[in-house]
Amino acid sequence: MTSKKTMNLHPLSKHLAAGQGNPPRQVLESGVFAMKRNFFGVWMLPLFRFLFCTALIACLQPVLAHEHGKSDAMPVASSACAQALVHCARSATPVFGPEGKVWLLWSHEDRLHLSTSLDGGSNFSVTTVISEKMPVLDDNSEARPKLVLLSDGSLLAAVTQRDSHYVGRLLTARSVDGGQTFTPFKPMLGGVGQRFETPLVLPSGRLVMAWLDWRNQAAAKAKGQAYKDSGIAVAWSDDNGQTFQGKSILADYSCDCCRMAAAVDRDGLAVFAWRHVFEGTTRDHAAAKLNDNGTFGPLRRIAVDDWKIDACPRHGPSLAIGPDGTWHATWFTGAAGKSALQYARSMDQGATFSTPEAIGNPAKSPARPQVLAGVGNSVWRAWKEFDGHVTTVNVQRSADNGLHWEAISEAARTNGASDHPLLVYSGDSVYLSWLTRDEGYRLKRLNKP
């Protein structure tokens, strides 16, 4: 492990406890499931779901300790974090640009901020506020603001503005001057009911945007019909985010509190993965390719975990596709007899997947797996572990497209709260991106120069 890059925009006061600022937890939740609510908000739930989770919670104490503790999610900053500093943010998302430029998108008190580095992420010297204060910005690690570099060199920021019941509205804004200024944020749709926006830029230059959409759910309920959670909606832009086409729901029944994942296949088309609601209350993972005509190809089931739970795990998958077309997926499951974190690969565009293999140490509550491919035959995976006191991010590399894996190594650690780890690459360089309350933002190169 080499070339550790640390962003120390400001020193963090030692008295800032990572767990401070958490509101009272009114509904039981965990990394295994969140009862249709986010960490900082509550859904109106039927009583039987609450009773169900109360009964199940006794079986989940090790994971609860991790998910409820300081380690797994960045809490709302305390009064000691009143200034707009990156270590006070709840998530931070990097995007690499040309000539060593790195942009870092983060939020503070419902405003979006963009920090810029001109030396590959070693120092972030300029920070710009790019949005007005929003009523509630959807930013909690699982749902985070997004930033993508478009084919013409412009930037597009995407974010969800929501209410206290997590009814969201997807907004986008563009910058044509390297992030110095952005256009006003504008809605993707006229109505509400969108969350977990997932943008992806294709080799053709087309920008594809997917999100979880409640329109079919609302229509079904208006007719007195049952509907499972959310739909998957997709739009695309051929003018670098100025206008979008499509905006249609292409698949029904996605778990409505879990983020999606996206990757570009060898043929230049987008593939999306999500936690799908299968028969009854089974919540396993599925993937589908977006065709050129704006429709989904066949729904591919990544694994038959058979996790039956009438609640939301709040734990989305990760997806990567290598230059040879191999699909790589990592995910979390709470199914009986299964390891919490799983990895599988497909060499036939998702028609079949390898037998899932366990990731991480089950005694240390492994969570938030990430997978990255695209540099030769190398594949990387990373995840968090928590021993009751310290959170670590562990990484593994495969040199043969996921067939075999090298020894696990620790890439970073913290004693306090932390964002989800991200794996990103620029050229041939693979990086771990991680925001922690105590140490601030870190961008660490994982492979040797």
pTM: 0.85
Pairing of strands 440-445, 4-7: antiparallel
CATH code of the domain covering residue 362: 2.120.10.10
- The pLDDT assigned to 362 comes to 96
Q: Distance between CA atoms of 390 and 412, rounded to whole angstroms? A: 10
Q: Distance between CA atoms of 201 and 213, rounded to whole angstroms? A: 21
**What percentage of the chain carries pLDDT values higher than 90?**
78
Give 279-314 pLDDT, tens digit per residue. 999 999 999 999 999 999 999 999 999 999 999 899
Residues sharing a CB contact under 8 Å with residue 82, sequence separation 6 or more, in sequence order: none
| DSSP H stretches of helix in 209-254 | 215-222
pLDDT band at 3 (very low <50, low <70, confident <90, very high): very low
> Which of the two residues, 69 and 409, has the higher pLDDT score?
409
> Which helix (H) or strand (E) is 267 found in, with range?
none
The mean pLDDT value for 115-125 works out to: 93
The mean pLDDT value for 425-439 works out to: 95
Give 136-192 pLDDT, tens digit per residue. 999 989 999 999 999 999 999 999 999 988 899 999 999 999 999 999 999 999 999
- How many domains would you assign to the chain? 1
C-alpha torsion 275→306→396→101, nearest 10: 0
The mean pLDDT value for 247-263 works out to: 97
The mean pLDDT value of the chain amounts to 86
Q: Distance between CA atoms of 78 and 437, rounded to whole angstroms? A: 11
For 392-438, the DSSP string reads EEEEEEESSTTSS----EEEEEESS-BPPPEEEEETTEEEEEEEETT
The answer to whether 246 touches 236, Cβ cutoff 8 Å, is yes
Q: Which residues constitute the domain of residue 225?
A: 4-445
